[in-house]
Amino acid sequence: MEIPGISKYFIVAAYIWALTASAAGAYELPAATGAHRVAFSSEEGDFNEYTRVINLKGSVQLDELDEEDKVIRTIKGRNLSIDVASRTIQVPGDFVMDSDSGAVYGKSGMFDYYGETGYINEGRFTYKNFVFFGKKVELGKKRYLYKKATITTCDENPPHYQIKASRIYLSPGRYFLAYNTLFYIGKAPVFYFPVLYKPLVGGTPFISSFSPGADGRNGAYVKSNYIFRFSPSTKGKLFLDYFSKKGFGIGAEFDYQKKEKNITNLSVYRIREYGAGNDRWGANGGSWHMLSRFNETDRGAYYSQIFFRALSDPQFNNDFFRSNPFAVSPDKQASLAFTRKSNSTITRLSFDGKYARTPDLKHFYKSYESAPRLDFQTVPFKLGKTPFLHAFNGYFASARETELPYYQKKGQGVWTVSQTAPLARNVIFFPSVFYDARVFVATGAMTSDLWVGRYGTSLNLRYDRLWGAFDLRYLYTGRLSANKLAKDRNAADKGEEVSSLSPELFVMPGYNAYFKVNTSYKLRNSARGSFADHLSTMTVEYYYAPRKNLDIYLQDSYSFAKGNLSFVAQVNSGGAQNYVGLGLAGYRPQPGALVFNQTFGFRVPWADSWRAEAVLRYKFVHKAGLNFTDFYFFEKSLILYKDFHDFRTRWDFRVRRGVKEFSFLVSLKMNDPARNDALEESSRNYWHPWRKAGQIRD
């Protein structure tokens, strides 16, 4: 039945209260309760009192309101019907639904405004920079289920890329979860992953990146990285790699940080190369954990520390993780320590093991082990009413060192007494004396206990001004005979281990420059040789930053007896993206050999969207004049960065002795890390300081 009095332009405003199921008379709506309701308007409309269905046509707008008359969502379309009895809304044609979460477009749909459920056919939802599409979208109170779905952040039509999924669970403002995902660039499928998850607030646990590449050893490869953020303090990473010549590799990294309580990192990786009988693997990480006090009256702080770096073989990092500094200087070690810290003392119980590589670079051997070691030290303190400061530090350990077939029990204790004495304006005197006792306990190889005492002093006179300081220090260490309180005069050095005078000048005329020079002169009676032989190596440092984007550093080490030992020069100029660095170094073990280091970063002039970083490291031997021999590059690398509409890419070319590699990394812009990711930044600084900001793995 039509509502009488319908004109060409029809406007009806009505409220439907969902909490009342009582019958209504002709043309009557349920009684108001002040709760959930809708209001609508249209150009035409009719109401059937028997079916209790309102049909609206032409510029239909339906607003769902809460008890305070605030609009929760709005539906706009050409046609719409409201079933008052079942409290449902049917939309047979195109429509758009707006809410705080975003805008949903559909071809048709049904909504239960009381149960807050329904479905949309061919639904398209925009949220921030994401676009979700589903052949059918089922609506729930707090999430949507997209079937035969796609995701993209590209606003082009057709999109440059999209991720297709069998179904997507979307909770606006919280997360989305996709199953059976296939990544497309244009119409070409490039990668499959079974599950994809991304929170829509805080962090970016998502498919991080794909990095295809090739190198001479491993062949063509694809490295994929996946990040999952469990909570603001916990993050996990999964690495799935394929190397055409070597096989499949899998790894993971885990980070956990709770302020003032725990800092933990664990990284593991393994691969069984084609034709190999054993896995190759690497594992490293550690943990710092604050322990509970033993009782309420104990004012000490207790914590444990664990650190380890383990490899199946010394070449593992160089073959698979070349940005890790231990790729070319491998080692293997592990340590465990328990520490108690009070206001006046620090006590530490530790277990350490270190391994060095064999000359053939294939195996490790144990170079040091302590099991256990106890360290104890005090902060400076006063005894009674004496004006001097006292300090003690010492240790006792059961240790086995290189080439020792047994564990040696040994210890050391050092007592120091010091005092600061101002002598005049700008002149301060720092005197101190110490006694050092070292003990070796009898073992199977050492049949009797042994202790050796040492004593000495440090006298430092400082002239301190605003422009810098001059220090003149005298150091003396005398050694006693074994198990005796008499000086060891029968030894070649007459029991004098150190007797030297050391001047040091430090000049800092401004915040942007300093100059430092120091040396020492041996005063021991047993010292032989000329004046030059008594002078130790003189080290000179100079730093100057004349402007914001330019700094210069120079260092030289010179022996008066042997000549120049080493020098380093480095000049850096530019900002974060456009810069140049030039370095030159020379070392005495290779006379005439010079090592050059050049780094460049710049926007490509003819293609502003490209940025480049280049490194050139080469070496040549200088004999005389312009006669150079053995010139060769020992490392060359070029990294290109290019941002596309939806992607960020990195192209990495690297060549050094034994390594020829090319890699390509592509990352969706929607995966960009949070600008202020405290967990990632803290983990990188604490565990992987060599990684660049935003770098996911070594």
User: What pLDDT, in 10s, does the model give residues 356-395?
Assistant: 888 887 888 888 888 899 999 999 999 888 889 999 999 9
In a domain, 158, yes or no: yes
CA distance 343 to 339: 13
Contact yes or no for 415/433 (Cβ under 8 A): no
157: which residues sit within 8 A by CB, 6+ positions away? none
Q: Which of 522, 539, 420, 530 is nearest to 477 (CA)?
A: 522
CA distance 666 to 645: 12
CA distance 109 to 224: 39
Q: Is the pLDDT of residue 557 over 70?
A: yes
Question: Following DSSP, what letter does each residue of 619-641 receive, concatenated?
Answer: EEEEEETTEEEEEEEEEEEEEEE
Contact yes or no for 146/134 (Cβ under 8 A): yes
Contact yes or no for 472/460 (Cβ under 8 A): yes
pLDDT at 4: 34
pLDDT at 472: 96
CA distance 21 to 30: 8
**Mean pLDDT along residues 593-617:** 87
pLDDT at 653: 87
253: which residues sit within 8 A by CB, 6+ positions away? 236, 237, 239, 265, 266, 267, 268, 697
**Mean pLDDT along residues 633-655:** 83
pLDDT at 526: 63
In a domain, 126, yes or no: yes
Please name the amino acid found at residue 626.
Answer: L
Three-state SS string over 360-385 comes to CCCCEEEEEEEEEEEEEEECCECCCC
**Mean pLDDT along residues 233-253:** 91
Give residue 187's Cα distance to chain centre: 35
According to DSSP, residue 406 is labeled S
CA distance 443 to 408: 7
Q: Which of 310, 290, 309 is nearest to 300 (CA)?
A: 290
At 11, is the pLDDT very low, low, confident or very high (cuts 50, 70, 90)?
A: very low
CA distance 362 to 366: 14
How many other β-carbons are positioned within 10 Å of the β-carbon of residue 597? 17
Q: pLDDT tens across 315-332, in order?
A: 898 888 877 777 777 788
At 450, is the pLDDT very low, low, confident or very high (cuts 50, 70, 90)?
A: confident
Between 168 and 50, where is the model more confident? Answer: 168
Full residue range of the structural domain in which residue 162 is found: 37-194
At 606, is the pLDDT very low, low, confident or very high (cuts 50, 70, 90)?
A: confident
Q: Is the pLDDT of residue 35 over 70?
A: no
The encoded tokens of residue 150 equal 């796609």
In a domain, 61, yes or no: yes
Contact yes or no for 38/13 (Cβ under 8 A): no
pLDDT at 617: 86
Beta bridge partners of 477: 456, 498
Between 386 and 338, where is the model more confident? Answer: 338
Q: Positive or negative CA dihedral for 184, 190, 194, 195?
A: negative
**Mean pLDDT along residues 153-160:** 81
Please return the burial class of 532, using the count of CB atoms within 10 Å of its CB with bins 0-12, 13-18 and 19+.
Answer: exposed
Range in 244-253, 606-615, 623-632 with the lowest mean pLDDT: 623-632
Q: pLDDT tens across 59-86, in order?
A: 888 888 877 778 888 889 888 888 888 8
Q: Is the pLDDT of residue 271 over 90?
A: yes
Q: Indicate the number of domains in the chain.
A: 1
Contact yes or no for 613/587 (Cβ under 8 A): no
pLDDT at 474: 96
Q: pLDDT tens across 584-602, in order?
A: 998 877 767 888 889 999 8
In a domain, 456, yes or no: no
CA distance 464 to 466: 7
Q: Is the pLDDT of residue 231 over 90?
A: no
**Mean pLDDT along residues 394-417:** 88
Q: Which of 1-15, 104-118, 531-545 has the highest mean pLDDT?
A: 531-545
CA distance 176 to 342: 48
Torsion angle, CA of 339/351/682/673, rounded to 10 degrees?
-150
Torsion angle, CA of 217/220/226/227, rounded to 10 degrees?
50
Q: Which of 303, 305, 380 is nearest to 345 (CA)?
A: 380
pLDDT at 27: 37
What's 98's domain CATH number?
A: 2.60.450.10
Collapsed DSSP state (helix, strand, coil) of residue 530 = coil
In a domain, 167, yes or no: yes
- pLDDT cut 90: percent of the chain above it: 33
- pLDDT cut 70: percent of the chain above it: 89
Q: What is the pTM of this model?
A: 0.67
Beta bridge partners of 311: 282
**Mean pLDDT along residues 624-634:** 65
Instruction: Please report the beta strands in 107-206, taking only residues with DSSP state E, as ranges in sequence order.
Output: 108-112, 117-127, 130-139, 144-152, 161-171, 175-185, 188-199
Q: pLDDT tens across 89-99, in order?
A: 889 989 998 87
Range in 173-177, 463-467, 539-543 with the lowest mean pLDDT: 173-177
Q: Is the pLDDT of residue 171 over 60?
A: yes
How many other β-carbons are positioned within 10 Å of the β-carbon of residue 231? 10
Please return the burial class of 314, using the count of CB atoms within 10 Å of its CB with bins 0-12, 13-18 and 19+.
Answer: buried
Q: Give alpha helix (H) positions in 234-326.
A: 316-320
In a domain, 360, yes or no: no
CA distance 467 to 506: 9
In a domain, 666, yes or no: no
Please name the amino acid found at residue 359.
Answer: P
Please name the amino acid found at residue 144.
Answer: Y
In a domain, 389, yes or no: no
